[in-house]
Chain A
Amino acid sequence: MGSTLAEKLWERHLVRSAPGEPDLIYIDMHLIHEVTSPQAFDGLRLAGRRVRRPELTLATEDHNVPTTDIFAPIADPVSRIQVETLRSNCAEFGVALYSMGHSEQGIVHVIGPQLGITQPGMTLVCGDSHTSTHGAFGALAFGIGTSQVEHVLATQTLPLERPRTMAVTVEGELQPGVTPKDLILALIAQVGTGGGQGYMVEYRGAAFRQMSMEGRMTVCNMSIEWGARAGLIAPDQTTFDYLRGRPHAPTGADWDAAVQDWTGLVTDPDAEFDAEVTLDAADISPFVTWGTNPGQGVPLSGRVPDPAEFATESERVSAEKALSYMGLTAGTPVRDIKVDTVFVGSCTNGRIEDLRATADVLRGRKVADGVRMLVVPGSMRVREQAEREGLDVVFTEAGAQWRQAGCSMCLGMNPDQLAAGERSASTSNRNFEGRQGKGGRTHLVSPLVAAATAITGHLASPADL
Chain B
Amino acid sequence: MDKFTVHTGRAVPLRRSNVDTDQIIPAVYLKRVTRTGFADGLFQAWRASEADFVLNQQRYAGASVLVAGPDFGTGSSREHAVWALWDYGFRVVISSRFADIFRGNSLKAGLLTVVLPEKTVQRLLDDISDDPRIEVTIDLLERQVRWPGEVHGFELDDYTRWRLLEGLDDIALTLRDTAAIDSYEQARPSWLPVAPSR
Contacts and interface: CB of A to CB of B under 8 A. Distances in A.
Contacts of A321: none
A151 B174 contact: yes
Contacts of B188: 26, 28
A85 B32 CA distance: 10
Interface stretch (A38-46, A195-203, A271-279): A38-46
B137 to A, nearest CB: 28
Contact of B195 (A24, A55, A258): A55
B58 interface: no
B174 A159 contact: yes
A32 to B, nearest CB: 10
Nearest to A258: B191
B33 A81 contact: yes
B127 to A, nearest CB: 35
B149 interface: no
A133 to B, nearest CB: 16
Contacts of A155: 171, 174-175, 178, 181
A47 B197 contact: no
Given A20-B159, A24-B177, A85-B33, A29 B196 contact: no
Contacts of A154: 171, 174-175
Contacts of A116: 193
Contact of A96 (B79, B109, B181, B198): B198
B131 interface: no
B35 A248 contact: no
A258 B36 CA distance: 44
Given A78-B31, A96-B195, A254 B170 contact: no
A26 B184 contact: yes
Nearest to B182: A15
A57 B195 contact: yes
Contacts of B175: 154-155
Nearest to B190: A254
Most B C-beta atoms less than 10 A away, residue of A90, A147, A254: A147
B48 interface: no
Contact of B189 (A55, A81, A94, A258): A258
Most B C-beta atoms less than 10 A away, residue of A20, A26, A49, A91: A26
A381 B81 CA distance: 39
B191 A257 contact: yes
Given A21-B159, A154-B175, A258-B189, A46 B195 contact: no
Contact of B196 (A26, A49, A96): A96
Given A257-B191, A261-B189, A24 B33 contact: no
Given A24-B174, A29-B193, A117-B193, A15 B35 contact: no
B185 to A, nearest CB: 8
Interface string A258-277: 10010000000000000000
A462 B185 CA distance: 51
B122 interface: no
A82 B31 contact: yes
A157 B33 CA distance: 23
B170 A147 contact: yes
Interface residues of A, number: 53
A255 interface: yes
Interface in B151-198: 159, 169-171, 173-175, 177-178, 180-181, 184-185, 188-198
Most A C-beta atoms less than 10 A away, residue of B31, B171, B178: B171
Contacts of A327: none
B33 A159 contact: no
A392 interface: no
Given A20-B159, A96-B197, A147-B170, A39 B34 contact: yes
Given A29-B193, A117-B193, A255-B191, A157 B35 contact: no
B18 interface: no
B194 A46 contact: no
Contacts of B189: 257-258, 261
A47 B171 contact: yes
Interface string A130-154: 0000000000000001110011001
A55 B170 contact: no
A29 B194 CA distance: 8
Given A16-B177, A96-B195, A146 B79 contact: yes
A95 interface: yes
Contacts of B109: 147
Interface string A104-124: 000000000000110100100
Most B C-beta atoms less than 10 A away, residue of A82, A154, A255: A154
Interface in B76-90: 77, 79
Nearest to A247: B196
B97 interface: no
Given A57-B195, A96-B197, 11 more contacts: A16-B177, A42-B33, A43-B35, A46-B35, A55-B194, A85-B33, A119-B193, A145-B77, A147-B108, A156-B181, A254-B191
Which 7 pairs, one residue from A and one from B, show the smallest C-beta to C-beta distance?
A38-B33, A250-B191, A254-B191, A58-B195, A248-B193, A78-B31, A55-B194
5 contacts: A46-B36, A56-B195, A82-B33, A95-B195, A119-B193
Interface of B: 31-36, 77, 79, 105, 108-109, 159, 169-171, 173-175, 177-178, 180-181, 184-185, 188-198
Interface of A: 15-16, 20-21, 24, 26, 28-29, 38-39, 42-43, 46-47, 49, 52, 54-58, 78, 81-82, 85, 90-91, 94-97, 116-117, 119, 122, 145-147, 150-151, 154-157, 159, 248-250, 254-255, 257-258, 261
